[in-house]
């Protein structure tokens, strides 16, 4: 026991675990017919999802099948893998948004996804959406008021903030969505392909903001198809393949192994 | 290495050693209520934003909120009033019918939109972390705001049919409050049921329709019971039905010409249904808190 305490004391200084994923299984249940001999590949999964209005019947899609790893304070972890390999699902499960079928995710805080799109309403003004999005992320009305100007400035939308968001160009609304989402810092931050928004100038700005958020956060998870982004932002990578953990380690080693397989 | 060392080196033990707790666990009731209270501004803003969005998307959208029950009332007037003669012995049948239709519509709409509050917002449930009861409560607030508008229309019509504006009208406020509590309880209940079993959304309109026909919206339950000499059990069920209770009390408040005034225990029933249904629905919804979003 004394040894464990000592270990804990040492670990709390350097690389204290912030997120522990223990034999995690995530299963989606969708209505739809069971296609004959279908496997868990992306195309048939999409077909199954699209055809759910057809004949009824409960289907289970096992998106994550027994993943285990420990993330430590100071880690920036890139999740890589093919489309439909379960990266985004894993991210959502770490955020506590998808209930595990089996296993568990342990954490001492509330990991948060960077993203607020689902809470926004396009026919409302930017102003109203900043309030709505801020409150949805857990800010108080006072905090939203405080951050309002910096959000508008960061998004660079100026007077457009008074117009409904469906009058914005796609770049403008992407910028506003990012600015709202990135206005809060979190202990454990989860980023899903958020880097690929806006024009070159905004990209630079948003990448700088993400670095800031990363420094403020204890642990960062990044899902991206751009291996360049992962290499730049992460010190560690986890390769997910068909819902299982294929490789976990130093970012350069994992990316090299992944690239070797993908290029084949 | 001993067995206990092996056990201690597992991920769960590591988590335990560092004070990490499993995420997505069922929250304690008190903590849940506190976190819900913290999100009250979100609830309110969400409800108002939805209404603002509906207004922005179509001007007629809000008009239908009033037109729909009015057209329904016109159909019922024709079928039940003119053809079936349900209006005999009711002095002011138009006010009687319109009050019934509008009051029932409040409960009906609250339950319907509450039932879809989780299944219709899965994107939000899967993207952000907040107590899920925010969604059904936001729907209840949305329906309450909309009902405020239709109550004004109701008041104008009732006055136009010749009813006097009396102090009794103030009783409509507690009736609506109690009805709101009762309907919110059912909205929470059906929000969970529909999140578990999507098909309930299809079956619910029929159940609500049958309920409406049994609730004395277009006829007087008390006159019906006197006429038919029904068994005491059925009489008790018909009169004690919560929708019938709230409709009857609303009619008593608005109509001076309503001769079949409800006895005082109707108020006890109205309070009873409200204070039973709201906690019941809330507890039922809370029990599945950790599971929303999987479906």
- Interval A193-252: pLDDT, tens: 755 566 778 878 877 887 788 778 888 898 887 888 888 888 899 999 989 999 999 999
**Least reliable range by pLDDT among A52-56, A95-99, B250-254, B290-294:** A52-56
**Least reliable range by pLDDT among A55-59, B71-75, B139-143:** A55-59
- Is the residue at A90 inside a domain? yes
pTM for this structure? 0.83
A163 touches chain B (CB under 8 A): no
Are B20 and A22 inside 8 Å of each other by CB? no
Per-residue pLDDT at B6: 42
**Which two structure tokens, joined as six digits, stand for A42?**
């992306």
pLDDT category at B136 given cuts 50, 70, 90 is very high
- Is the residue at A148 inside a domain? no
Per-residue pLDDT at A152: 93
Is A180 a residue whose pLDDT tops 60? Answer: yes
pLDDT category at A1 given cuts 50, 70, 90 is very low
pLDDT category at A47 given cuts 50, 70, 90 is low
- Is the residue at A192 inside a domain? no
Q: Which residues of A touch B50 (CB under 8 A)?
A: 121
pLDDT digits (tens, 9 = 90+) for A120-136: 998 899 999 999 999 99
Q: Which residues of A touch B123 (CB under 8 A)?
A: 118
Per-residue pLDDT at A13: 38
- The stretch A106-118 carries a mean pLDDT of 84
In angstroms, how far is CA A41 from the centroid of its own chain? 22
- Is the residue at A10 inside a domain? yes
- Is the residue at A127 inside a domain? no
Are A11 and B130 inside 8 Å of each other by CB? no
Q: What is the CATH number of the domain that holds A72?
A: 3.40.50.300
- The stretch A68-83 carries a mean pLDDT of 89
Is A106 a residue whose pLDDT tops 70? Answer: yes
A113 CA to chain B: closest CA distance, Å?
A: 7
- The stretch A67-87 carries a mean pLDDT of 89
Per-residue pLDDT at B259: 62
CA distances (Å), origin A222, targets A32, A80, A97, A191: 32, 9, 17, 5
pLDDT category at A112 given cuts 50, 70, 90 is confident
Per-residue pLDDT at A229: 81
Handedness of CA B183, B184, B189, B193 (dihedral sign): positive
Q: Which residues of B touch A17 (CB under 8 A)?
A: 14-15, 18, 20
A144 CA to chain B: closest CA distance, Å?
A: 11
A22 touches chain B (CB under 8 A): yes
Q: How far apart are CA A133 and CA A165, in angstroms?
A: 13
Q: Which residues of B touch A49 (CB under 8 A)?
A: none
Within chain A, residue ranges assigned H as helices are 2-13, 42-50, 87-94, 126-136, 141-155, 170-181, 200-216, 227-233, 251-262
Looking at per-residue confidence, does A10 or B271 come out higher? B271
- Is the residue at A20 inside a domain? yes
- The stretch B218-224 carries a mean pLDDT of 86
pLDDT category at A55 given cuts 50, 70, 90 is very low
Percent of chain A with pLDDT over 90: 30
Q: Which residues of B touch A132 (CB under 8 A)?
A: 45-46, 49
In b/e form, how buried is each residue of B222-248, taking b as 16+ CB within 10 angstroms? Answer: bbebeeeeeeeeebeebbebbbbbbbb
Q: How far apart are CA A198 and CA A181, in angstroms?
A: 14
- Is the residue at A15 inside a domain? yes
Per-residue pLDDT at A240: 92
Full strand arrangement of the beta sheet holding A58-72: A58-72, A17-31, A102-107, B21-22
Per-residue pLDDT at B100: 93
- The stretch A3-7 carries a mean pLDDT of 49
- The stretch B24-30 carries a mean pLDDT of 87
Instruction: Please give the backbone phi and psi of residue B220, each rounded to the nearest 5 degrees, phi first.
Output: -90, 120
Among A96-105, B129-138, B148-157, the range of highest mean pLDDT: B129-138
Per-residue pLDDT at B2: 40
Q: How far apart are CA B285 and CA B114, in angstroms?
A: 12
Residue of B nearest to A118 (CA): B124
Are A22 and B11 inside 8 Å of each other by CB? yes
pLDDT category at B20 given cuts 50, 70, 90 is confident
Partner residue opposite A97 with nearest CB, options B19, B42, B129: B129
pLDDT category at B122 given cuts 50, 70, 90 is confident
Are B130 and A138 inside 8 Å of each other by CB? yes
Handedness of CA A175, A177, A182, A187 (dihedral sign): negative
Q: Are strands A219-223 and A188-192 parallel, antiparallel or unpaired?
A: parallel
Is B71 a residue whose pLDDT tops 90? Answer: no
If you count residue pairs, one on A and one on B, with CB atoms under 8 Å apart, how many are there?
127
- The stretch A104-129 carries a mean pLDDT of 88
Is A175 a residue whose pLDDT tops 80? Answer: yes
Are A106 and B20 inside 8 Å of each other by CB? yes
- The stretch B219-227 carries a mean pLDDT of 84
Phi-psi sector, A156: left (phi>0), alpha (psi -120 to 50), beta: left
Is A12 a residue whose pLDDT tops 60? Answer: no
Instruction: Please give the backbone phi and psi of residue A41, each rounded to the nearest 5 degrees, phi first.
Output: -90, 165
- The stretch B222-232 carries a mean pLDDT of 83
Taking alpha carbons only, the member of B139, B89, B147, B134 closest to residue B112 is B139
A29 touches chain B (CB under 8 A): yes
- Is the residue at A35 inside a domain? yes
A119 touches chain B (CB under 8 A): yes
Instruction: Please give the backbone phi and psi of residue A60, each rounded to the nearest 5 degrees, phi first.
Output: -110, 135
Per-residue pLDDT at A117: 83
Domain that holds residue A93: 2-111+224-262
Residue of A nearest to B289 (CA): A99
Looking at per-residue confidence, does A9 or B229 come out higher? B229
CA distances (Å), origin B205, targets A105, B8, B142, B210, B214: 40, 55, 19, 9, 14
Per-residue pLDDT at B201: 86
A10 CA to chain B: closest CA distance, Å?
A: 11
Per-residue pLDDT at A48: 54
Percent of chain B with pLDDT over 90: 50
Beta bridge partners of A24: A67
Per-residue pLDDT at B42: 95
Q: How far apart are CA A104 and CA A123, in angstroms?
A: 39
A229 contact partners, CB below 8 Å, separation of at least 6: A78, A195, A222
Q: Which residues of B touch A100 (CB under 8 A)?
A: 24
Full strand arrangement of the beta sheet holding A244-250: A112-114, A188-192, A219-223, A76-80, A236-241, A244-250
Percent of chain A with pLDDT over 70: 81
**Which two structure tokens, joined as six digits, stand for B247?**
């409709």
Per-residue pLDDT at B254: 92
Number of domains in chain A: 1
pLDDT category at A88 given cuts 50, 70, 90 is confident
Is B242 a residue whose pLDDT tops 70? Answer: yes
């Amino acid at each position: 026991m004394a040894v464990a305490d000592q270990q804990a004391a040492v670990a709390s200084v350097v690389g204290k675990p912030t997120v522990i994923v223990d034999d995690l299984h995530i299963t989606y249940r969708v209505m739809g017919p069971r296609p004959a001999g279908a496997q868990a590949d992306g195309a048939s999964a999409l077909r199954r999802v699209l055809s759910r209005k057809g004949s009824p019947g409960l289907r289970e899609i096992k998106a994550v099948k027994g993943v285990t790893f420990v993330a430590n304070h100071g880690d920036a972890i890139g999740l890589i893998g093919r489309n439909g390999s379960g990266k985004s699902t894993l991210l959502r499960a770490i955020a506590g948004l998808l209930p595990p079928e089996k296993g568990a995710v342990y954490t001492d805080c509330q990991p948060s996804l960077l993203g607020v799109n689902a809470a926004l309403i396009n026919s409302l003004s930017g102003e109203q959406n900043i309030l709505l999005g801020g409150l949805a992320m857990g800010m108080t009305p006072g905090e939203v008021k405080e951050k309002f100007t910096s959000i508008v400035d960061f998004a660079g939308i100026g007077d457009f903030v008074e117009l409904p968001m469906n009058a914005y160009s796609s770049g403008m609304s992407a910028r506003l969505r990012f600015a709202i989402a990135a206005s809060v810092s979190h202990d454990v931050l989860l980023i899903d392909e958020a880097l690929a928004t806006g024009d070159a100038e905004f990209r630079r700005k948003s990448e700088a903001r993400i670095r800031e958020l990363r420094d403020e956060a204890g642990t960062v998870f990044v899902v991206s198809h751009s291996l360049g982004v992962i290499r730049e932002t992460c010190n560690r990578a986890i390769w997910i393949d068909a819902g299982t953990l294929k490789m976990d380690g130093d970012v350069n080693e994992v990316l090299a192994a992944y690239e070797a397989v993908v290029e084949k | 290495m001993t067995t206990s060392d092996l056990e201690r080196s597992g991920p769960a033990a590591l988590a335990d050693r560092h004070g990490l707790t499993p995420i997505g666990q069922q929250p304690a009731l008190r903590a849940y209520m506190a976190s819900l209270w913290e999100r009250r501004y979100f609830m309110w803003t969400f409800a108002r934003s939805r209404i603002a969005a509906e207004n922005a998307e179509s001007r007629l959208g809000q008009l239908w909120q009033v037109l729909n029950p009015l057209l329904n009332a016109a159909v019922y007037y024709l079928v039940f009033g003119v053809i079936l003669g349900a209006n005999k012995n009711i002095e002011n049948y138009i006010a009687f019918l319109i009050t019934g239709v509008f009051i029932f519509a409040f409960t009906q709409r609250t339950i319907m939109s509450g039932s879809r509050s989780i299944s219709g917002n899965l994107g939000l449930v899967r993207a952000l972390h907040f107590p899920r009861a925010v969604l059904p409560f936001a729907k209840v607030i949305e329906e309450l705001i909309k009902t405020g508008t239709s109550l004004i229309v109701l008041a104008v019509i009732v006055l136009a049919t010749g009813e006097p504006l009396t102090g009794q009208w103030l009783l409509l406020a507690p009736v609506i409050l109690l009805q709101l509590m009762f309907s919110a309880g059912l909205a929470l209940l059906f929000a969970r049921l529909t999140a578990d079993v999507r098909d309930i959304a299809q079956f619910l309109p029929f159940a609500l329709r049958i309920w409406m026909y049994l609730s004395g919206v277009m006829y007087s339950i008390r006159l019906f019971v006197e006429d038919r000499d029904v068994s005491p059990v059925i009489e008790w069920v018909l009169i004690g039905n919560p929708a019938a209770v709230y409709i009857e009390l609303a009619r008593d408040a608005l109509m001076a010409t309503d001769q079949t005034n409800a006895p005082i225990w109707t108020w006890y029933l109205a309070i009873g249904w409200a204070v039973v249904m709201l906690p019941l629905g809330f507890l039922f919804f809370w029990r599945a808190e950790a599971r929303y979003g999987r479906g």
